[in-house]
Chain A
Amino acid sequence: MIALDIAIKNKCYNNIDAVVLKDINFSVKPGEFVAIIGPSGCGKSTLLNMLCGLEESYEQKLLCNGKAINGDESHKLGYIFQQPRLMPWLTVQENLQLVLPTPKHETQQKSQHEQINDLLNQVGLSGKGSYFPNQLSGGMQRRVAIARAFAVNPELILLDEPFNSLDAPTAAKLRRLLVELCQNRGSTVIFVTHDLSEAIYLADRIVFMSNTPTSIIHQVDIDLPKPRQEAGNKELAWQAKLMNEYPKILAGKTN
């Protein structure tokens, strides 16, 4: 189980002087599903990159189970990027194999093969193992990316607007898939989005962010029972109440 303690005093990009993140402090409990919502360009992806050691700042204190994050953690990490980021020269099967340890003998190879087939089944891509990514539709490529993230049995999952630019039914299908995969695994999830109803459907808690220099403007627990419904009555009522209280919160303002 992974718990995170995040304290970023400020983060700038190397080539420009502007501060991107400023005074970001929050904790994530083990097994918690946290959604981060903020206006586009506010540095949400940067935050995720910092959580897995892809980017860093001199003034940060990121703790994972009490230890500093530097990119060499031993815990299993799944990252679903905004773009699927599959290797076009590898088949779907090989793309999944890539992130798994190289099998040492034949029985291991067989069980890995089965594991991959199971995963492809779960994401609704059974029989597509020998396809190349370019032969799949955008939605299918994303499903492969999701399968890749779950293939490593992640203890921590980072998602960066993974359902962006998909048509509504496909996005809904993938959201249900995500809920399904997250169940029973006990993984800690950080989910970046700009879609409030998506966050209400999925998350235990929402962290709202401001425009740059980005800081946290509001945090709220979603006290609705799971499983939830997408755009269900309770969910819509919850959303309406929040929007009533903070009408400009999606633009990064609390008043």
Chain B
Amino acid sequence: MKGIFSSKHTAIKSNSHQFFTALYSRLLMLIILAVIWQATAWFINSADFPSLLNVIDSFIYHVNQGDMLANISITLGRVFISFIIAMILGVIIGILMGCSDKVNELSDTLLIIALNIPALVTILLCYIWLGLVESAAITAVVINKIPTVVVMIREGARVVDQDLLAVAKVYKLSPRTTFFKIFLPQIYPYIMASARAGLSLIWKIVLVVELLGRSDGVGFALNTLFQFFDIAGILAYTFAFIAVVLVIEALFFRPLDKLTSRGMNHDSA
């Protein structure tokens, strides 16, 4: 009991304290990794294993030369478009499958097939059937991503609280209000989870798509660097893109998290 009370009183103080402790331990981990890397690189002393400093040099070179920023923004554009399309379609299909047993029975097999088609096969077929064009690239990524979104949203739609929907029916709420105020908020956590998992999956697939059939973007750049065996360049690109994704996470997902978990995690009075 005593512990609970004291933690409540110092909650505000310890919140900022906790934040800095967490940041500190994260940074510490990064620094340790960097030191180990640098030391190993010195020890091995091989062109195939560039040191951290080499990678940083390469990063600066690629940024200054001008192609890295352009490639990253092109890739980000593709990630963004295919992410939006995949999420919208996936959420719609997921809700339909979760709510209607009939739709679920009809499309369940299709879903399992779609989940298990290798990403590479989808990409190749899209390029063959649609041609080496931008829309083929986007389509391939979207087709790869939709099934995983559907699976998660379907679970969310299945566990929607029928008692709350009964409230909507008793008070004769419009279908629109019922959907946006009562149904959708219950599957927000599932949408957030699939969006998070989705972003990382999508950007990896986009790179493959670019490598196979586009003449710009990070995937294309990585392919070129591979031709020259420029390992420092490959690592520089990788870290640059991971940094971008981290920024997106902090800028978009954290605030969205706050919005979607509205009213959920409070101590009761």
Contacts and interface: CB of A to CB of B under 8 A. Distances in A.
B182 A87 contact: yes
Contacts of A87: 164, 181-182, 185
Interface in B156-178: 163-164, 166-167, 169-173, 177
A134 B181 contact: no
Contact of A54 (B170, B185, B264, B268): B170
The binding surface of chain A is classed by DSSP as loop
A112 interface: no
A135 B169 contact: no
B262 A98 contact: no
A238 interface: no
Interface string B19-47: 00000000000000000000000000000
Interface string B181-198: 110010010000000000
Contacts of A137: 268-269
Nearest to A53: B169
Contacts of A148: 171
A179 interface: no
A222 to B, nearest CB: 28
B263 A90 contact: yes
A81 to B, nearest CB: 7
Interface in A145-159: 148, 152
Interface string A73-107: 00001010101010111110000001100100000
B170 A77 contact: yes
A217 interface: no
A85 B171 CA distance: 12
Contacts of A81: 163, 166-167
B262 to A, nearest CB: 5
Q: In which size bucket is the chain B interface?
A: 20 to 34
Interface in B235-249: none
Nearest to B259: A89
Nearest to A71: B169
Contacts of A71: 169
A237 interface: no
A89 B170 CA distance: 19
B142 to A, nearest CB: 30
Given A54-B166, A87-B164, A90-B181, A77 B263 contact: no
Interface string B253-269: 00000000011111111
Given A81-B163, A90-B181, A132-B262, 18 more contacts: A49-B166, A54-B170, A77-B172, A79-B167, A88-B263, A88-B264, A89-B188, A89-B264, A99-B171, A102-B177, A133-B263, A134-B264, A134-B266, A134-B267, A135-B266, A136-B268, A136-B269, A148-B171
Interface of B: 163-164, 166-167, 169-173, 177, 181-182, 185, 188, 262-269
20 contacts: A49-B166, A52-B170, A71-B169, A77-B171, A79-B170, A81-B163, A81-B167, A83-B163, A87-B164, A87-B181, A87-B182, A87-B185, A88-B264, A89-B185, A98-B173, A98-B181, A132-B263, A134-B263, A135-B267, A137-B269
